[in-house]
Amino acid sequence: MRVADPVPSHRPHLGRVTSFDARRGLGRVTDVDGAEFGFHATALADGTRSVEPGTAVAFVVAAGHRGLYEARAVVSLG
């Protein structure tokens, strides 16, 4: 989702990790409305640097790199 698109609400989003590349530290999360956001391993709030695809998570959305929104403060719910 591009930053020029409507701003997502500031409420925490719920979703699932759809992919995660542990070597690069890059992942994707899809919220319950179907919007997809990228995230970096440093956005994992518990301090770990890895998460399994399919993990239920809560996260906030903020303007990120390259003019896109990204997931931050990603917290595992399971």
* pLDDT tens digits along 1-44: 555 565 566 788 999 999 999 999 999 999 998 999 999 999 99
Residue 3 lies in a domain: no
How far apart CA 36 and CA 41 sit, in angstroms, is 16
Residue 1 lies in a domain: no
Residue 60 lies in a domain: yes
Residue 71: which of 52, 58, 55 has the closest Cα? 58
Considering its fold, how many domains does the chain have in total?
Answer: 1
Residue 22 lies in a domain: yes
Q: Which CATH number covers residue 55?
A: 2.40.50.140
Residue 7 lies in a domain: no
Q: What's this model's pTM, rounded to 2 decimal places?
A: 0.85
Structural domain span for residue 60: 13-76
Residue 55 lies in a domain: yes
